[in-house]
Amino acid sequence: MFDPIQERRTQKYTHAELKNFWQGPGYVVQRLLRENPALYQELHTAGEQAGVVGKSLAPRPASNVYKPPTRSYSAEELKLRGEFTESYCRQLFASGDAKAAKALYESDRESYEDAKDASISFNILPPRLTPRPAPAPVAAPEWTGQITNELADESGVPRGQLWTDSQIYQMCRQRVQRVREKQEAADAKVAQERASELAKLTAAQQLEQDARDQKQRDLDRLAVLIAPKPSETPEALDVAVQRAVAAEKQTVAE
């Protein structure tokens, strides 16, 4: 069953409170609108239901003027736009003179790629069709160390200085080469001395051998001279004649 008294008790704001607010000072209403728009809307709805204020006018339609969306930049783009100004990027890629861009490309490839990305952010260049090239790997620093004072003195370099592995290898190689050349020179000298001595000995031995041979020939000749000559028995006359006849016949037969 409808009970108008009970319904009035369930209302959050009384009619008198709503009337005093909406028909009171206007600055109070404006302050509430600025500081608490939700409560303002709630009181306005309650005032409409209580008949204290009229309904709100329809909101003004949005303007038909197109507003392009505001572009947002990533942290990397903001960093590049701070390092490379728009005028510098235009000088590199939009001036028609490619010398500056080529010089930057050859001297510092990474700075060139950064300038290119900054130019894309400034709409000077179109977006990349392919991903940005990966940076070249950074070579590890070459090992360095000291060498002994003896090797430094032999190589004619300052003592206590740091040298790379390839430099130390080169100095050690030169040291080994010097030792080998010195040993080869010593071996060659010894070999030459031995050859000279052997030549002397050979010559002396040859003279001695020649002397011995000559002495032996003299002895053989002396032996022949002093040895008695054996007597030869003459062949018998008949035998000699027969031998001569046989030889004659043999000659005629031929």
Identify the H or E element spanning 40.
helix 37-50
Cα gap 180→209, rounded to integer Å: 42
Is 155 found in the same domain as 116?
A: no
Residue 136 resides in a domain:
no
**pTM, to two decimals:** 0.35
Q: CB–CB of 89/122 below 8 Å?
A: yes
Count of C-beta atoms within a 10 Å radius of residue 154: 15
Task: Give the domain extent around 82.
Answer: 75-121
Q: CB–CB of 152/114 below 8 Å?
A: no
Cα gap 217→210, rounded to integer Å: 11
Q: CB–CB of 104/92 below 8 Å?
A: yes
Residue 234 resides in a domain:
no
pLDDT tens track for 188-213: 988 888 888 888 888 888 888 888 88
Residue 238 resides in a domain:
no
Is 217 found in the same domain as 156?
A: yes
Cα gap 13→24, rounded to integer Å: 16
pLDDT tens track for 81-120: 999 999 999 999 988 888 999 999 999 999 999 999 999 9
Is 84 found in the same domain as 41?
A: no
Residue 155 resides in a domain:
yes
Domain count, the chain: 3
Residue 97 resides in a domain:
yes
Residue 131 resides in a domain:
no
Residue 113 resides in a domain:
yes
Residue 215 resides in a domain:
yes
Identify the H or E element spanning 219.
helix 165-226
